[in-house]
Homo-oligomer: A and B are copies of this chain.
Amino acid sequence: PSSIRLAVIPGDGIGVEVTAEALKVLQAALPQDVKVEGTEYDLGARRYHATGETLPDEVLAELQGYDAILLGAIGDPSVPSGVLERGLLLKLRFAFDHHVNLRPSRLFPGVPGPLREPGAVDFVVVREGTEGPYTGNGGTIRKGTVHEVATEVSLNTAYGVERVVRDAFARAQARPRKKLTLVHKTNVLVFAGSLWSRVFTEVAAEFPEVATDYLHVDAATIFLATQPERFDVIVTDNLFGDIITDLAAAVTGGIGLAASGNLDVTGTFPSMFEPVHGSAPDIAGQGKADPTAAVLSAALLLEHLGRTKASPVLSESARKIEAAVEADLAERAAHDAPRTTSEIGDALAAKAAGL
């Protein structure tokens, strides 16, 4: 393509800073003749305080017209918990049917990580993104009294589970190790667990080359914290995926490096790319945030568009960004002082442009 049209939602806190760097590196990695047309949308805490809006219907409709969405981070302590999460971030994921929440974890050379004996960690979590305990289904009676009862309902459908499980099998099939682990809590959540197990077993029959495995989510945290190298692809539900991907980030150098994509793999709706980290209001505006997670999310964006638009040029640029990050991280130990957000962005852009 001669251009890619992006809706850019910098959001709150460090989201603004890291998104600027991600766009810088994105443009640098693309050939001169592919232009990034980024349109910025002011959504998040600022807009909520100014207008009371989280995601107006007209904006949602407009966003639908883009090739993809690049998002920084959403959330601020000044906004009641849940308002922006449910009204903006999750609304986007649900409205645009982002059923595959893709979160790769890799321990890059040069990154120390917290483990004493780190192995070669390189896995990807395929987290379901449109079901489970995230649907907002539930309620409260007798609120604020000693008789209050609150429920949260996890909704799981064969349709929703099958499409994400199939996607995960296809990804496992395409990787050298060809291994897929289902993570759930089938021994306690027996209704949802039985659905996930059945669908997993059925889809497995279509992928005879993929080795399969099952772990309860509690046991999965043990392996993630001690032998993360054992994983190749993990498929799991929305809430378990939320939890284990933060843990996965922690054991591979921290949340400053963890990228994610919220994909509608059918291409009907724009997919959305965002770092796993939040808006970190405590360090916002100080140039302290590491933009690497946002930059790697931009790489996932190009990889996704490269595939859906059948454009090798975009895929190639995605690989350039990854290579730039890899090179930059390998050199990090050599820097005397911590670099600012834009210094890291500049370094990554220069590297990506030179590849």
Q: Which residues of A contact B (CB under 8 A)?
A: 75, 81-82, 85-86, 90, 112-117, 133-134, 136, 138-140, 142-159, 162, 185-195, 197-198, 217-219, 221-222, 224-226, 239, 242-247, 249-251, 254-255
Contacts and interface: CB of A to CB of B under 8 A. Distances in A.
A85 B190 CA distance: 10
B191 A219 contact: no
Nearest to A136: B190
A232 to B, nearest CB: 20
B144 A155 contact: no
A176 to B, nearest CB: 26
Nearest to A84: B187
Nearest to A113: B116
One complex includes copies of this chain to the number of 2
B221 A243 contact: yes
A188 B247 contact: no
Given A90-B188, A144-B198, A188-B85, A158 B149 contact: yes
Nearest to A186: B81
Contact of A225 (B114, B140, B149, B153): B114
A246 B226 contact: no
15 contacts: A115-B115, A133-B154, A136-B190, A140-B195, A144-B198, A146-B158, A146-B162, A149-B156, A150-B156, A152-B153, A152-B191, A153-B154, A188-B242, A224-B225, A225-B251
B250 A222 contact: yes
A74 to B, nearest CB: 10
A250 B189 CA distance: 23
A81 B139 contact: no
A112 B186 CA distance: 32
Contacts of A194: 82, 140, 143, 150
Contact of A134 (B140, B188, B250): B188
Contacts of A219: 246
A190 to B, nearest CB: 4
Contacts of A187: 75, 81-82, 85-86
B198 A225 contact: no
B190 A81 contact: yes
Contacts of A153: 151-154
A222 B247 contact: yes
A237 to B, nearest CB: 10
A161 to B, nearest CB: 9
A123 to B, nearest CB: 15
B156 A154 contact: no
Given A144-B198, A225-B225, 16 more contacts: A81-B187, A82-B188, A115-B116, A136-B190, A142-B158, A147-B158, A148-B195, A151-B191, A185-B239, A185-B242, A221-B244, A222-B254, A225-B247, A225-B251, A226-B254, A247-B247
B218 A86 contact: no
A99 B294 CA distance: 42
Nearest to A218: B246
A228 to B, nearest CB: 10
Contacts of A115: 114-116
B86 A255 contact: no
Given A114-B225, A116-B112, A82 B242 contact: no
A114 B151 contact: no
Nearest to A155: B151
